[in-house]
Amino acid sequence: MGPSAAQLRRLKPLYQLVVNNILAVVAVPLAAAVLLKAAELGPEEVLARARALRPAHMFLAVFLPAAAAVLYLMLRPRAVYLVDYACFRTNPNCRVPFATFLEHSRVWPGFDERSVRFMTRLLERSGLGEETCLPYAQHYIPPSPDLESSRAEAELVIFSAIDDLLAKTKVSPQDIDILVPVRADAVLHRHDHPPVQPPQGRAERAPRRDGVQRRDDLRGGARNLLQVAPWGARALVVSTETITPNYYMGRERAMLLPNCLFRMGGAAALLSTDGANARFRLARVVRTLRGASDSAYRCVYQEEDDSGNVGINLSKDLMNIAGDALKANITAMGPLVLPASEQLLFALSFIARKVLNNRIKPYIPDFLTAFEHFCIHAGGRAVIDELQRSLKLSDEQVEASRMTLHRFGNTSSSSLWYELAYIEAKGRMRRGDRVWMIGFGSGFKCNSAAWECIRPAPNCRRALGQLHPPLPRPHPRRAQALTVIPFLPPPIKSNRCNSDWIKLMVEAS
């Protein structure tokens, strides 16, 4: 009779301990054997055998390992660190409850009753709460998606996030060496920054935001630029979602979905190769781009409908394409971050499926052995549900993603920083903890970044202070009642509820 599943689960920690420390398991017995043999021979015999070696052998035995170590240190990439980050906090007067959103939609003649009913169902199932925000241009009737309003929204989000970041890090704008924002020229003009000089022999390239292109790969671009910049250089990275120019005012269902999901938000991060005051270390970055496929390229596409209204068309194949991109990204990310025990189990499963029987269920690696925290792109409730199921994550591990979607909506790649701020605000981040950020973007792309915490936030509420205004101190009796609030809310079929419980949960913690 073979071992049961419960017995195998009890043996798995021992298996992981042995395989993950295989070098120590092999090296310690070998070192002990060498020491025992040397003690048996005696000091005189050992010295006599050492003197009998040729000088060339002695030279190679010392020089080759030293030369290999020096060559490795010279050629390895520089470590990139996250000095700090700041998330944009939207003004309360930008808040758009469901009732306001639907009322404006009914008044606007571009939407018929059928479109309003469709958006009502989307909002109820989206996972968004009542405190998500839209830019000022969307509060007018009719909305004003003109160039000036778009520029005002972008500057409000970008400049506010950058100002908060510079205040937190106490870094002068003149000390920034590399700019990787969505509007580098506007940032230079506002902060009176001197002209940016590209590295010698390289042309200056300023990334831009066109249409709905998301800058999920900004971290990788900044990392590459920091490799060729002088040591200690600083790179300013800005991620944002611009709503105003992409707000759709037609009746195509596939183009109405972004109106219900995308909301106002942004974040700024300061990267450097100097880890003196850094809070996180960038361990890995893996980028997967599926732009060669026509279906993947057009699954998130800005275009006009039959009436000439411009909007974002989300293809019905979006989830399948996103799943394929995620699978390719995880396949490339796994060998870089998973411990040897998980890689060995996956390799054995792969061989068994190819050699023995293809019907054998493939082994899904346990990414909980590689990461303590997960920041999943808050693209929608379906995206979070699918990733939770695929990676076998618990409700607590996807809580940051769900709460970010509930409070801020889909803010593109900046949602990952809101999630990181939520984790730190709850006091869960510890030194040495590893964080996995997974982002999606049009194109279609899926990008992953692995971070290692060096220094948690000194105050667990510091990160949340960037997102929520200070709350009044509750009455002592009410404070006692708050301590019994469940860790996670019960599943809700409709999100037409007041999201004050999020604030109360943070207060109770």
Strands 434-441 and 445-453 come out as antiparallel
Distance CA 436, CA 430 (A): 14
Would you state the pLDDT for residue 460?
A: 54
- 114 in a domain, yes or no? yes
What does 2-61 look like in DSSP terms, one character per residue? Answer: PPPHHHHHHHHHHHHHHHHTHHHHHHHHHHHHHHHHHHHH-HHHHHHHHHTS-HHHHHHH
- 248 in a domain, yes or no? yes
Distance CA 407, CA 133 (A): 9
In the chain (509 residues long), the average pLDDT of successive 10-residue segments reads 61 70 76 80 78 76 82 83 92 88 85 89 89 89 84 90 92 86 65 52 36 45 83 90 86 88 92 91 91 87 86 86 89 87 82 74 82 92 88 91 93 92 92 93 89 84 46 36 31 35 36
Give the tens place of pLDDT for each residue, 394-445.
999 999 999 999 999 999 889 999 999 999 999 999 999 999 999 998 888 8
The domain that holds 134 is classified in CATH as 3.40.47.10
- 447 in a domain, yes or no? yes
- 26 in a domain, yes or no? no
- 236 in a domain, yes or no? yes
Q: Give residues with Cβ within 8 angstroms of 64, minimum separation 6.
A: none
Q: Give residues with Cβ within 8 angstroms of 350, minimum separation 6.
A: 362
- 394 in a domain, yes or no? yes
Would you state the pLDDT for residue 311?
A: 87
| Segments forming the whole domain that contains residue 284 | 80-188+215-465
Residue 200 φ then ψ, to 5°: -60, 130
Overall domain count for the chain = 1
- 352 in a domain, yes or no? yes
Token output for 121? 């169902």
Q: What is the 3-state secondary structure (H, E, C) of 167-224?
A: HHHCCCHHHCCEEECCCHHHHHHHCCCCCCCCCCCCCCCCCCCCCCCCCCCHHHHHHH
- 1 in a domain, yes or no? no
Where are any strands of DSSP class E within 330-489? 373-376, 434-441, 445-453
Give the tens place of pLDDT for each residue, 264-287.
999 999 999 998 889 999 999 999
Would you state the pLDDT for residue 309?
A: 85
Distance CA 314, CA 282 (A): 32
pTM over 0.85: no
